[in-house]
Structure 1
Amino acid sequence: MLILLSASHKNSTFDVLEKLSVGGGSSATRMVEQHGPLSGAVVVATCNRFEAYLDLDEPYGVSPLPAVFAAIEAVSASSGLDAEVLRDNLTLVHGNGVAEHLFAVTSGLESVVVGEVEIAGQVRRALEQARADGTTSPELERLFQRASQTSRGVKNRTGIGSAGRSIVRLALELAESRVSDWSSARVLLVGTGRYAGASLAALRDRGAENVRVYSPSGRAVGFAASHSIDAVPTEDFAAEVARADVVVTCTLRDDHVIDAALIERGRAEIGTDPFAITGATIDAPARLCPADSGPEAPPQLIIDLGLPRNVAPDVTLVPGVELLDLETISIHAPLEELNATTEAREIVGKAARKFSDVAEEQSLTPAVVALRSYVFELRDAEIARARSRGDSSEATESALRHLAGVLLHTPMVRARDLARAGEQDAYLTGLDALFGIDVTLPAAGAADAAGSIAS
């Protein structure tokens, strides 16, 4: 049985998502170790969602809640979030709804920006991490591989994502109202992680030419060399932040890389005249300045794409600084393109139904195998009996083999139809009543289900 625990920008707060992004991603191993019936777990943790996909190896009809509560305890231990908070912020989905949800997520239909291009890679890397940790399972492998195939189908057959929309590009679109000339803007890119390359490409698309990079982890030199920009050494970081018209942060650090104190220190290092810090590239709204406050500081725009947050909220207290973070970006996300989204969801729904049909058919595989073994044993016994009576002709053996195949055809078709209808019990009951074949299924799918998690 497939189970999903999901928290996203749609049903949770960014404070909770921030904590989940720090520790929640490492919870898969703990989940599998602490709850024996869990045969696999894959965790997808991105800047605006946390999802744990679980494979529960329990007999058909068994409640998933013990596994759910065990998983929540594991996430709580990894993230530091109280289990009660997690129950309030996680949505439970199990059965056929899991595939449709993952396929929609991977296709970018559930993102802050519909059709964002990064999510498919993030889902793929989550599966790779589960493989490295030894927490995946055959069913989760099939689920995630099918999700990648569906994502490619949506991308190739619809307008979703055709413009390369992403969190990065949306952030820069929102910044357009503040940046009058990207070509003359002094830009500092902080981080060389998952969004750094996309951020640099998006900046260059807008004409940005004066871009530097700083890496808290010391990777700036390599990144700068491969992208033909300048690297900022650690000792110059504060001053470079103060000089920049636009700062874009996208690191994987779990602490603040920029705060008010750092900006103030940088301004002090480069001089006390605020107008010597930077040019007039950034347009700021009019401000009223007290007569004795001196000249107004030039506006600076900081775009924080990190989760956990790379930038401390107190930077907005520094004169001239404006902060655009993920929470603000999500509020201004554009409406979906209805036609493309509708077509994409049809593709996702069809793929999910096909995935579930295969899963349901496989749920009765042990019963079908048992019936085939039963019939083949009878067939082989009759062939042996015929031989013992002197009839060893190929015609007799061929006729008996053909008869066995004909007899099995209808039961095998019925197994598929009953499994798709969720009536596995009827098939098992029939086998037991007619042939005395008693089969206990190790696990089976459940009907679609989603909702809150009861405490």
Structure 2
Amino acid sequence: MLLTCPTAQSLLGTAANPHPTLDFAVVGLNHQTAPVSVREQAAVPVQGAGVLYGTLREYADEVMVVATCNRTEIYLAGVHGSLEAAFNQAFQGDFTGYFYLHHELDAVQHLYRVVAGLDSLVVGETQIQGQVKRALAEAGSFQATGTLMNKVVQSALAAGKRVRSETGLSDRVVSVSSAAVELAHEVLGDLQGHTALILGAGETAELTMTHLRAAGVSDVLVVNRTEERARSLADRWGGRTCPYQELQRALPQADVVIASAAAPHWVVQGADARQALQQRGGRPLFFFDISLPRILAPDIAEVPGAYLYNLDDLNSIVARNLEWRRSTLPQAEAIIREAVAELLRWHLTRDAQLRRRAAAAALAG
């Protein structure tokens, strides 16, 4: 199944309005068109980016690959080959049925929406802006970009920044890690002066750390089975570490415990919470379990002074904020359309200049 979008393409090349062709395209798959079992087959190998770009340069003069957990897309300028063949050969598979293809201004509009977070699984998420910026830098390191690619991507980054600043699209948190911190703020009030303990050191734990810091928490303990990973996360964000074996000693120091790790058993149980509370002199202790499967035992909630929240409790916050984000979409889409029109004006001006130079060179010859 090949998906196309006609909304922007009407701005180019009709009999009544014969604009010059914008030689720009994208082929890709994402969370809307392909399950994770397919998306993981199109992941960029850690050591294989050079080979990947070498293959793709057989199909276009300029290339950029954007690969995240929810999408793999190839942007091409100066195309001289089949987009489907380029994707299949680059990732050594047959992804027919999962592709979407966009050409010319449709491809531009798609990239602008991607960068703005309008095409993300979590609408308005901000990580994609940095991911596309890094993708452009990587493509440049392989000498795979030129005037057109650089202009389109830089304009997309500017449009994405404008969408976020003018609409507030990303103001309301919509991840479970940020929702956990938001709920902690609701139940504790000002988080400054409080101590948080993070169980885990993966991507979700790092996101949790960023939200804790933004909320004013200055003292964060990181506990993880692999102490090196815990230390790496703590060092990046100015936190402290505690050996996993000494978790029980660390619990009384925490006002908030946020668990985002994987384990085959309960890492903290009711008896652990009871012991920690005794050492805290009756001060309450709040637990947020954003792990799946859960690693904080349900009997923690039965301990006086211990308060346990899980993913179901946090999803209501996420849903509320997502609804608010959706209300900003019409304004965001209007900004994207305006940015695409600006890109078209740049393209028409550039094309006219190139034509005048070519004509002058022909006369001079």
Return the TM-score normalized by structure 1. Answer: 0.55
- Residue aligned with 1:277, SS: helix
The partner residue of 1:276 within 257, 271, 278 is 271
> What does 1:301-340 align with in structure 2 at a 5 Å threshold?
302-303=289-290, 315=293, 320=298, 324=311, 332=319, 334-335=322-323, 337=325, 340=328
Aligned with 2:121: secondary structure? coil
Offset at residue 352 of structure 1 (A): 1.2
Specify the alignment match of 1:221 in structure 2.
Answer: 231
Selected match of 2:166 from 138, 154, 157? 157
Partner of 1:71: 87
Q: CA deviation at 1:25?
A: 10
Match of 1:359 in 2: 347
The 3-state SS of whatever aligns with 1:39 is strand
Q: Which has the higher contact order (CA 8 A, sep 6+)?
A: 1
C-alpha deviation, 1:219, in angstroms = 5.1
Change beyond 3 A, Cα 1:99–1:232: farther
1:168 and 1:204 map into 2 onto residues whose CA distance is 16
Paired AA for residue 227 in structure 1: W
What is the aligned counterpart of 1:346 among 309, 326, 334?
A: 334
Partner of 2:74 in structure 1? 52
Q: Report the Cα offset of residue 129 of structure 1.
A: 1.7
Residue 103 of structure 2 corresponds to residue 116 of structure 1? no
Change (3 A) 1:90 1:316: farther
Aligned partner letter, 2:77: D
Equivalent residues of 2:201, 2:233 under 8 A apart: no
Offset of residue 358 of structure 1: 3.1
CA displacement, residues 327-348 of structure 1 (integer Å, 9 cap, x when unaligned): x89x957235456322221121
Structure 2 vs 1, CA of residues 246 and 196 (structure 1 numbering), >3 Å: closer, same or farther?
Answer: closer
Partner of residue 231, structure 1:
241
Residue 124 of structure 1: how far off its partner (Å): 0.8
Name the SS of the counterpart of 2:125 in structure 1: coil
Deviations 1:332-373 (A, max 9, x none): 572354563222211211211222343355457665433222
Gaps of 5+ in 2: 1-22, 277-285, 300-308
User: CA contact under 8 A between 2:198 and 2:205: conserved in structure 1?
Assistant: no
Q: Give the aligned partner of residue 384 of structure 1.
A: none
Structure 1 position 128 matched with structure 2 position 142: no
Please point out which of 200, 215, 221 is paired with 1:190.
Answer: 200
Distance change >3 Å, CA 352–CA 164, structure 1 → 2: same
SS in 1 for 2:337: helix
The CA RMSD over aligned residues, in Å, is: 4.5
1:145 Cα deviation (Å)? 0.9
Shift of 1:100: 1.0
The answer on whether the counterparts of 2:65 and 2:135 sit within 8 Å (CA) in structure 1 is yes
Partners of 1:359 and 1:97 in 2: CA distance: 14
Contact 1:189-1:211 at 8 Å conserved across structures: no
CA contact (8 A) 1:6 1:49 kept: yes
Kept after mapping to 2: 8 A contact 1:27/1:74:
no
Match of residue 247 from structure 1: 259
1:108 is displaced (CA, Å) by: 2.1
Q: In structure 2, do the counterparts of structure 1 residues 276 and 30 end up closer, same or farther at CA, with 3 Å as the change threshold?
A: same
1:107 touches 1:155 (CA, 8 Å); kept in 2? yes
Q: Residue in 2 aligned with 1:396?
A: none
In structure 2, the partner of 1:101 is: 110
The 3-state SS of whatever aligns with 1:212 is strand
Superposition deviation, residue 32 in structure 1? 3.6
Report deviation, 1:230: 1.6
Amino acid corresponding to residue 96 of structure 2 in structure 1: R
Q: Distance in 1 between matches of 2:71 and 2:231?
A: 31
Instruction: Give the 3 Å change call, closer, same or farther, for CA 227–354 of structure 1 in structure 2.
Output: closer
1:31–1:70 contact (8 Å) kept in structure 2: no
Q: CA deviation at 1:18?
A: 4.8
2:231 aligned partner, one-letter code: V
Once the 2 structures are TM-superposed, how far is the Cα of residue 43 of structure 1 from its aligned partner? 1.7
Q: Which amino acid aligns with 2:73?
A: E
Percentage identity across paired residues of the two chains = 20
Q: Is 1:139 aligned with 2:160?
A: no
CA contact (8 A) 1:28 1:42 kept: no
Give the CA deviation at 1:197: 5.2
Could you tell me which residue of structure 2 aligns to residue 284 of structure 1? none
Q: Deviations over 1:77-102 (max 9, x none)?
A: 3xxxx42xx33333111211111111
* Higher alpha-carbon Rg: 1
Q: Would you say the 8 A contact 2:248–2:272 is kept in 1?
A: no
Per-residue deviation, 1:168: 5.7
| Structure 2 match to 1:427 | none
> Given that residues 44 and 122 in structure 1 are in contact (C-alpha distance below 8 angstroms), is that contact kept between their aligned partners in structure 2?
yes
The one-letter amino acid paired with 1:349 is R
Partner of 2:18: none
Judge conservation of contact 2:24–2:77 (CA < 8 Å) in 1.
yes
Q: After TM superposition, give the deviation of residue 231 of structure 1 in Å.
A: 1.7
Distance 2:127 2:349 in 1: 33
Cα deviation 1:299-348 (Å, max 9, x = unaligned): 975436xxxxxxxx6x35996499859xx89x957235456322221121
SS of 1:109 mapped into structure 2: coil
Structure 1 unmatched ranges of 5 or more: 59-63, 250-257, 268-273, 282-298, 305-312, 378-455
Distance change >3 Å, CA 24–CA 67, structure 1 → 2: farther
Alpha carbons 2:124, 2:325 under 8 Å: kept:
no
TM-score normalised to structure 2 length: 0.66
Q: Is structure 2 residue 28 aligned with structure 1 residue 6?
A: yes
Contact residue 60 and residue 79 of structure 2 kept, 8 A? yes
CA distance in 1 between partners of 2:274 and 2:200 (Å): 20
Distance 1:342 1:97 in 2: 18
Query: Which digits, 9 at most, give the CA deviation of each residue in 1:34-66, with x for residues without a partner?
Result: 6523223212222433322122443xxxxx5x2
